[in-house]
Structure 1
Amino acid sequence: MPRRTATMLASTLMLIALLCAGVFLPVPYAEMSPGPTVNTLGEHDGEPVLNITGHRTYPTTGHLNMTTVRVTSADYRMNLVEAVYGWLAHDTKVVPHDTLYPDGQTEEQSTQENAEEFSQSQESAKVAALKELGIKVPSWVVVSTVVKGSPAEGRLHAGDVVKEVDGTAVRQPADVAKLVTRHTPGQKVVFTVVPAKEQAAAEKQHRTAKTEKVTITTAQSDDDGRKRAIVGISAGTGHSFPFPIDIKLADVGGPSAGLMFALGIYDKLTPGSLTGGRFVAGTGTIDDSGKVGPIGGVEMKTVGARDKGARYFLTPADNCAAAAKDTPAGLTLVKVGTMDDALDALKDIRRGRTADLPKCTAKG
């Protein structure tokens, strides 16, 4: 065989070997891409996204779209060819696998965490919107989660209202851990609680809820740092809303739709249109006070929003720099840090004063 032919054959075989290796060689990366975007003022799968009863609502126009990101599953193993393609593509982003699934998090654990965050974001969106309207929303400390296999499992349940710990009144979620850690592991701690079902029944019947005492033997923490007494719960804030506000959106998780839910609720409870008929999309967490927080995957969300038809994108201030690096053509990124900022921006948008909008730049 001539030397030139042998060299070409060897090179071809090597190229084939490299391509095969690229197909079968897993790499520690995951992929993000634009997900669905849904108008919070409209319907999804034939049902209103926001359904408000027991209070006057008003017609709305335009779009206030929440945006999402698709990610590869926790157990999906990307190969080298897919990673290279993702790096080169405009509408995908390849990130380290641990960025999306830290500490070996499983798909089930990720789904559960996202569901809890989504539920909490809905609660905060309702509170922020109603507070903006001057409507009082009573709140209290509740059990948010119970760790499986912990001393509290089967004794306390998510949604239970925590009134006292060892006879000391609980005012805010942080009080619970503070009072429990006064003990040493193995000591008993007494919770005065209103069970979740009793709280729901008392609200429905407009009566005072009945409390009960639950005694739990503390265990020792097994995380890094100082060993302390624990019972295996996390505390959060529960609310009593003056009228029902239902948010229905299946197959969505995480906290990033909070701002857009809050704006949608506010729009439905006030006369006129927040958008003036414009197509506005956005993202951002929101807390009970109306503060907007950053989210992940903002570059993918702006692409998804523009592809759907959005002209304006409400962007958390802390995400502005990242979003502005590659803004889709025809999309204006509007910088917001609070719900008030978003409402002010929407006022400018519907009045056509776009020059007044606080726009995102590469510096933030």
Structure 2
Amino acid sequence: MGLLALALSLDHVPATDIALTVPFAAEGPGPTFNTLGDVEGTPVVDVEGAEVDPTEGNLNMTTVSVRTNMTLAQALGRWIGTGDTLVPLGQVIPPDVSEEELRRLNESAFVASEAAATVAAMNHLGLPTEVVVHDLVPGSAADGVLEPGDVITAVDARGVSQPGEVQDLVRARAAGEKVVLGVRRGERAFDVEATLGDNPEEPGSPQLGVLMTSQPAGDVSVDYNLNDVGGPSAGMMFSLAVIDKLSPGLLNGGRFVAGTGTIAEDGKVGPIGGIAHKIRAARDAGAELFLAPAGNCSEVARVDSGEMVVAGVATLDDAISAMQDFSAGRDVPACR
């Protein structure tokens, strides 16, 4: 069986074995990672170029493990013996998407989540950001024009500081139109021109073909160091870790807090999939408080969280307030 944690990492099976597998995937609790801790000696959230405030306790992001390439006996064993849920394989691996395309989509979602987490944290802290080119789509408008590591400073002479601003300005144009990008590459600043392509996922929509991330402007840098984990649902916990490291005091009160949720640049927390499995994972890991997206609260009500308190949060500020209230012994907005 292939074991996946958010990101899809498919096992190849011999052709003679394919007929023995079932078209289902088993979803269950995946590993949790303390965003305030280390992985293989490297900080999960690495902040450099600024004084980092000491942290304590946990801010754990949670994952869903997905098993594929199962025989009928293995699938039934997961369903009966572990509490995993079985879902059609097409919900996990779209039939018209190759393994490499799926990996790229998963990576794109994770990088976008990291960028949004950084922007949301910087906005909360009142610190400026800038847009960085992480990767380019081969054959796209930006391929051969931009390079990974370039900083995009403007689109058609309009200054930009967040990936979402670049996307909005590009989407306001049409495929085939030219845009002028302000770029900083090392110590050089210059303009480049690119002809927008047609987005294959949204025919008729323009595509620049840039996978963007965000970094604090100036000397501060934020890097996220989790391999083989993808998707957007770690965003809120990443953002909270950055805020904790760059602000005085203990954001979590030194307690064991876990959670999940997408994060937008403006700090809004979005719902995710697999909430029941993530709550089980956090409960079993010993979390005291779980931060769940408010949009998932109807599902949360059906999950046994044990002694762990589950708070419903709609924004980054809600999550911070819930941790403060919990640490002070006050009631939190229960997700029930």
Q: TM-score, normalised by structure 1?
A: 0.75
- Counterpart position of 1:181: 175
Tell me how far apart the structure 1 counterparts of residues 33 and 321 of structure 2 sit (CA, whole Å): 22
Superposed, 1:307-326 pairs within 5 Å as 307-326=284-303
1:71 pairs with one of 66, 69, 79: 66
The structure where strand makes up a greater share of residues is: 2
Mark the CA change 1:169 to 1:57 in structure 2 (over 3 Å): closer, same or farther.
Answer: closer
- Counterpart position of 1:233: 209
Tell me how far apart the structure 2 counterparts of residues 221 and 284 of structure 1 sit (CA, whole Å): 27
CA deviation after TM superposition for structure 1 residue 101, in Å: 1.8
CA deviation after TM superposition for structure 1 residue 24, in Å: 5.8
SS at match of 1:129: helix
Identical counterparts, % of pairs: 38
SS at match of 2:108: helix
Q: Which moved more, 1:114-123 or 1:29-38?
A: 114-123
Which runs of 5 or more structure 1 residues have no equivalent in the other structure? 1-22, 184-188, 203-208
- Counterpart position of 1:191: 180
The structure with the larger Rg is 1
The structure where helix makes up a greater share of residues is: 1
CA deviation after TM superposition for structure 1 residue 145, in Å: 5.8
Tell me how far apart the structure 2 counterparts of residues 169 and 290 of structure 1 sit (CA, whole Å): 23
Which runs of 5 or more structure 2 residues have no equivalent in the other structure? 1-17
Tell me how far apart the structure 2 counterparts of residues 214 and 324 of structure 1 sit (CA, whole Å): 52
Q: Which amino acid aligns with 1:233?
A: G
Tell me how far apart the structure 2 counterparts of residues 352 and 69 of structure 1 sit (CA, whole Å): 30
RMSD: 3.0
1:27 pairs with one of 22, 25, 30: 22
Q: Which amino acid aligns with 1:63?
A: N
Tell me how far apart the structure 1 counterparts of residues 276 and 313 of structure 2 sit (CA, whole Å): 16
Contact persistence 2:116–2:214 (CA under 8 A): no
- Counterpart position of 2:84: 92
- Counterpart position of 1:154: 144
Q: Which amino acid aligns with 2:57?
A: G
- Counterpart position of 2:6: none
- Counterpart position of 1:260: 237
Tell me how far apart the structure 1 counterparts of residues 222 and 212 of structure 2 sit (CA, whole Å): 20
Mark the CA change 1:240 to 1:321 in structure 2 (over 3 Å): closer, same or farther.
Answer: same
CA deviation after TM superposition for structure 1 residue 170, in Å: 7.1
Contact persistence 1:143–1:162 (CA under 8 A): no
- Counterpart position of 2:189: 210
Q: Which amino acid aligns with 1:210?
A: A
- Counterpart position of 1:277: 254
CA deviation after TM superposition for structure 1 residue 339, in Å: 0.7
Tell me how far apart the structure 1 counterparts of residues 101 and 292 of structure 2 sit (CA, whole Å): 28
**Number of aligned residues:** 312
CA deviation after TM superposition for structure 1 residue 291, in Å: 0.8
SS at match of 1:104: coil
CA deviation after TM superposition for structure 1 residue 176, in Å: 1.6
Tell me how far apart the structure 2 counterparts of residues 348 and 156 of structure 1 sit (CA, whole Å): 46
Contact persistence 1:42–1:48 (CA under 8 A): yes
CA deviation after TM superposition for structure 1 residue 144, in Å: 6.8
SS at match of 2:317: helix
Mark the CA change 1:87 to 1:348 in structure 2 (over 3 Å): closer, same or farther.
Answer: same
CA deviation after TM superposition for structure 1 residue 347, in Å: 0.7
Mark the CA change 1:221 to 1:111 in structure 2 (over 3 Å): closer, same or farther.
Answer: closer
SS at match of 1:179: coil
The answer to whether structure 1 residue 345 and structure 2 residue 322 are counterparts is yes
Tell me how far apart the structure 2 counterparts of residues 244 and 224 of structure 1 sit (CA, whole Å): 33
Contact persistence 2:28–2:64 (CA under 8 A): yes
CA deviation after TM superposition for structure 1 residue 311, in Å: 1.9
Q: TM-score, normalised by structure 2?
A: 0.80
The answer to whether structure 1 residue 106 and structure 2 residue 84 are counterparts is no
- Counterpart position of 2:32: 37
- Counterpart position of 1:9: none
Tell me how far apart the structure 1 counterparts of residues 231 and 144 of structure 2 sit (CA, whole Å): 27
1:163 pairs with one of 154, 164, 172: 154
